[in-house]
Each structure stands twice: as C-alpha cells, then as structure tokens.
Amino acid sequence: MPEQLKPFHTKVKGSLAEDEDWWYLEVDEDSGQQVVRHKWHHCNPYKLSQPANEGSKTYSIDEFLSGDHDGRAKAALRDHLGDQN
C-alpha cells in the first residue's frame, strides 16, 4: 500500500519557531483513498529539559473539514482539493 504525502499547509509560531504544525493530504496510490495527516512539534524553548509535544494524527477529509481544526489549514485543504478537480 504505497502512500504519497502532499503538503498543503504549514504553521510556525513563536519567535524561535517553537510550535510547528504540518498538514498533508495522504493518498493511497493503490485504492485512491485520501486522508488528512496532521503532524506537530511543540516545545518550550525556555525549558529544553522537558520533552517536546510531538506526534501525528490522521483524519478523514470530512472529519477534518467539519471538526474543530485550524481554519487556515481547512481553507488550504479546500483550495488544494479544488485544484485537483
């Protein structure tokens, strides 16, 4: 099941870029199924001894667009999906 990640939005916050989020459209090349993958890395630059909050989560497209997610990421996904049609 080969998968292709297509980035559609990035958000970097903080003067030291301590909060980073990336959103990808993940496409299963065999089935054509598309899902949204959100990856993040958030850290406190003033407490580097603490582990960073990092991870990823996968959503269906409908779940992502109807959920409480970053508004700019949702708009970017809509634009990206519109460009594919």
pLDDT at site 41: 93
Quick one: which of 70, 6, 74 has its CA closest to 40?
A: 70
Evaluate if residue 23 carries a pLDDT over 60. yes
pLDDT tens readout for residues 39-76: 999 998 888 788 889 999 999 999 999 999 999 999 99
Please tell me the pTM assigned to this model. Answer: 0.84
- Rounded to the nearest 10 degrees, how much is the dihedral formed by the CA atoms of 1, 82, 59, 42? 110
pLDDT reported for residue 77? 97
